[in-house]
Chain A
Amino acid sequence: MRFDTIIEKIIAAIEWIITFFLIVIFSLTVILVVLRYVFNSSILGGSEAVTFLFIYTTALGSAVAIPKNRHIRISFFIDLLPAKLQVVVDACVYVLVAFINGAMMAYSLGWIALVGTDLSQSLGIPLGIVKASVPIGCSLALLLSLYAAYLVIKTGAPLDGEKFV
């Protein structure tokens, strides 16, 4: 399978995962409200589970948003540059994004090793499972930003996010 196809499949799979997470978040939140007011009851750790899923949606979703060119940025000044220079700057931007994600991934591993065995308050699961969202999200963002830089260099044009929509 071609590298491009693999990346596209990864992006699509992650999008479905985070969409599923959002549906679970929504359903669980509604169920918790209904249980509270109709049955005077609750699900132990429900709110915690919702928060943990939300953390993953941010970590994974922000990585997927890189090749889709969805991140909020100020493009006004770059747009003033000649087309060729725009390509160079765009590629450098993605390399910088890859760098900061790589750094965060590296530093998060030591932090998780220290505090990852602590248990969450309600669900009682090791917090390392949730905190792993940082290295997982950052490593994915590292991969996808390098891929974005590669695409910019290969096509000689600023990234077309529509390709992955």
Chain B
Amino acid sequence: MTLLIVSLVILLIFGVPIAYSLGLSSFLYFVVHHPELISVIPQRFYAGMDAYLMIALPLFIAMGCLMNESGITRRLINFSLLFVGRFRGGLGLVNIVASMIFGGISGSSVSDTASVGAVLIPEMEEKGYSKEFSSGITVASSTMGMIIPPSIPVVIYALVAEASVGKLFLGTAIPGIMIGLLMIIITLIISHIKKHPKEEVNLSKKEILITVQRSVLAVIMPLFIIGAVVFGITTATESAAIGVLYALIIGAAVFRTVGLKSILRLMRKAILTSATVMIIIALSKIYIWILALEHVPQMVAAFITGLDVPVFLIIIFVDLIILFIGTFIDVSPAILLLTPVFLPAMQSLGVDAIQFGAILISGLALGLVTPPVGMCLNVASAISGLGIGKIFKGALPFLLANIITLILISFVKPFTLWLPELFMK
């Protein structure tokens, strides 16, 4: 067991891709401890790739890319400006609202940072916001991208936890929206103190109607996708495929901004990105199989339930582990490694699989904006030219929203379970 964990840590530190680190440490374990079981490697590897649910992964990525390519970012920003632009710190609020909507469309925090940041960071600077504030709010609000459904990490968690995708979509909706609302409050407070500008939104009724018309098709898309899964009309995979079709129609026929060349390029990008995540899933299957062989989930559960401390302290401890792991390891592999180890233990403490999924994903989302390896920080750094330390400093006040939400969903079950129980009993 020690060999399995130590070798994995060493390989990760030396920059071996996470997928192959999992494969190599599993291989080493078999060679040293169970050479007679080594034929399990190709079997589990294949089993990891053989997942119908995960076909949703490249399709959701393609859908997000296509929507982004169709010029949706600018439309969503204009749409958000209509509602929150007139308040103090208007562009900061627009950044948050646009990220909430964009998160539902792309399902990815990194693409949210790249798309919204590329437009709003320079624009905010021009309007007198500091670089630190504009980059900080961009990365912090992008954490909603992987929480607000439909979300790619939710699909990965559903696969590992064998939980309902529909219930998870509903279970993460309130936490995602709550983060957004709290960030809006924080922005209003900061903007009031720093005297940030208001935006001029003096549009005629006709102009307002045009702005709404231009963005409404994108805004309602996540609702269709979630609705189709929740009400059992389609599976998550089918829903993702319909989402791609919808994005194709919007981009090619309605907005007329996406051509055949772009479609092929984006499809290629989507399938390559998907393959790099799927290979982690496939090779983690071997690693997880060894963890089960060594009874690690049972040992962790026995250890945790045997602790003579209040349950809330244990949950806080698990939350801290999630935050720590998320700081160093990317979201997908972290979900794959932490779920089988902690889910049984948390369930024995009365935490539902849907609730744990929301805790895990919300906690790991913070890792995207914390140094040293926060992916969103790197993207924002490339856009703003600011160091990741300064961007993180700028994001810190907004991350309070994530922390408050994480605490609430850890201890108040209805935040994650009310919607699934209401619609999917």
| Tier of interface size on chain B | 35 or more
| CB contact under 8 A between A107 and B271, given known A71-B276, A72-B280 | no
B contact residues around A21 at 8 Å (CB): 271
Residue among B19, B42, B373 having the largest count of chain A Cβ atoms under 10 Å: B42
A contact residues around B180 at 8 Å (CB): none
User: Which partner residue on chain B sits nearest A61 by CB separation?
Assistant: B275
Which of B236-252 touch A at CB < 8 Å? 237-238, 241-242, 244-245
A contact residues around B237 at 8 Å (CB): 29
B contact residues around A15 at 8 Å (CB): 268, 272
- The reply to whether A19 and B264 contact each other, CB–CB distance below 8 Å, is yes
A117 at the interface (CB under 8 A from B): no
- The reply to whether A76 and B372 contact each other, CB–CB distance below 8 Å, is yes
- The reply to whether A110 and B272 contact each other, CB–CB distance below 8 Å, is no
- The reply to whether A75 and B27 contact each other, CB–CB distance below 8 Å, is no
Q: What 0/1 readout, one digit per residue, does chain B (1-29) give for beta carbons within 8 Å of chain A?
A: 00000000001111111111001100100
| Interface contact tally, CB-CB below 8 A | 172
- The reply to whether B27 and A74 contact each other, CB–CB distance below 8 Å, is no
Which residues of B approach A to under 8 Å, CB–CB?
Answer: 11-20, 23-24, 27, 38-39, 41-43, 45-46, 49-52, 54-55, 58-59, 62, 234, 237-238, 241-242, 244-245, 264, 267-268, 270-280, 282, 328-330, 332-333, 372-373
Pull 16 A–B residue pairs with CB atoms less than 8 Å apart, ordered by A. A29-B55, A33-B234, A50-B55, A62-B278, A71-B276, A72-B333, A73-B12, A75-B15, A93-B16, A96-B11, A100-B20, A104-B41, A111-B39, A111-B43, A133-B46, A133-B49
Known pairs A54-B58, A89-B15 / 12 extra A-B pairs, C-beta < 8 Å: A15-B268, A22-B58, A22-B271, A29-B55, A51-B51, A57-B58, A70-B273, A70-B276, A72-B332, A93-B17, A96-B16, A108-B42
Which residues of A approach B to under 8 Å, CB–CB?
Answer: 15-16, 18-19, 21-23, 25-26, 29-30, 32-33, 47, 50-51, 54-55, 57-62, 64-65, 68, 70-78, 89-90, 92-93, 96-97, 99-101, 103-104, 107-108, 110-112, 131, 133-134
